[in-house]
Structure 1
Amino acid sequence: MIELRTERLLLRQWRETDLEPWAAMNADPEVREFFPEVLTAEQSAASLAYFRTELAERGWGWWAVEAAATGEFLGFAGLDPVDEEMPFTGVEIGWRLARPAWGHGYASEAARAVLAFGFGTLDLSEILAITAAGNRRSRAVMERIGMTRDPAEDFDDPTVPEGPLRASVLYRVLR
């Protein structure tokens, strides 16, 4: 399993000790503001197990993100094939951080490392990012890391129930 390092971060395989902060993060309504619901502890545990398996089998996916200096769990970042239900195909980049990690540049730093891996190691020609149209914070990260949006590609996410969170935007960056 590949780990990614930046000046301040380690993107690594998930550990059992990540479950408690991961579950707390997923139960936080502010962290989950642009998702249909907060997650239960059981849902968080299932997602952690899934991420761990994907990383072990494929060597890349959704890495746990920790502060390199302290080992503190900050959230996750990585790459994953776009869901089959989407109106496009490709590999998407994503991130989610616990609230105390917001505003420190960690999302952009992790995303840049993930992009470098996707283009350099996986030899991808393009990487996508998807978010709810109203998610200004994630959209700002997408723009900071060089991604662009074509409003003609905005779409209603078929994996999200009807409502205001369904309106989504698609960003792209080429190698």
Structure 2
Amino acid sequence: MRILETERLFLRTFQEKDVESLIAINQDQKVMQFFPAVPTREETIAFIDKIISHQEEKNFSLYAAEIKKTGEMIGFGSTPNKGAL
């Protein structure tokens, strides 16, 4: 579900299809330079499963940032709660 739209991006709920994009992001040394460890594929899948579960059960979530033109998921962010948007 799309939460927010800008000129170039959608902010949307996570989907299972985001696994490969998030794995690629997690493998980028510049992205992960301040993190203690790079998540494994299994940890990334579990992370996305947890996000999807929270989207359905809680009043907050992390949201995927997607490029409109390509549909590529390029990152994620959060808001204090769904009502903030």
* Residues 76 and 59 of structure 1, relative CA distance in 2, 3 Å threshold: same
RMSD: 2.1
Q: Name the structure 1 match of 2:76.
A: 76
Q: CA deviation at 1:29?
A: 2.2
Which ranges in structure 1 are unaligned for 5 or more consecutive residues? 80-90, 92-117, 123-175
- Normalised to the residue count of structure 2, the TM-score between the two structures is 0.81
- Normalised to the residue count of structure 1, the TM-score between the two structures is 0.43
Q: CA deviation at 1:5?
A: 1.4
Matching of residues 87-106 of structure 1 within 5 Å? 91=80
Whole-Å Cα distance in 1 between the matches of residues 64 and 53 of structure 2?
13
Q: CA deviation at 1:54?
A: 1.2
**In structure 2, the residue corresponding to 1:3 is in which secondary structure?**
strand
**In structure 2, the residue corresponding to 1:12 is in which secondary structure?**
strand
Q: Name the structure 2 match of 1:17.
A: 17
* Residues 2 and 18 of structure 1, relative CA distance in 2, 3 Å threshold: closer
* Residues 21 and 37 of structure 1, relative CA distance in 2, 3 Å threshold: same
Aligned-residue identity in percent: 36
Q: Name the structure 2 match of 1:115.
A: none
More helix by percentage? 2
Matching of residues 116-131 of structure 1 within 5 Å? 121-122=83-84
8 Å contact from structure 1 (residues 27, 40) kept in 2: no
Residue type of the alignment partner of 1:63:
Y
Matching of residues 88-167 of structure 1 within 5 Å? 91=80, 121-122=83-84
Which ranges in structure 2 are unaligned for 5 or more consecutive residues? none
State the aligned residue count.
Answer: 84
Higher relative contact order by CA 8 Å / sep ≥ 6: 1 or 2?
2
Q: Does 1:52 align with 2:52?
A: yes
**In structure 1, the residue corresponding to 2:69 is in which secondary structure?**
coil
Over alpha carbons, which structure has the higher Rg? 1
* Residues 58 and 5 of structure 1, relative CA distance in 2, 3 Å threshold: farther
- Runs of 4+, deviation exceeding 4 Å: none
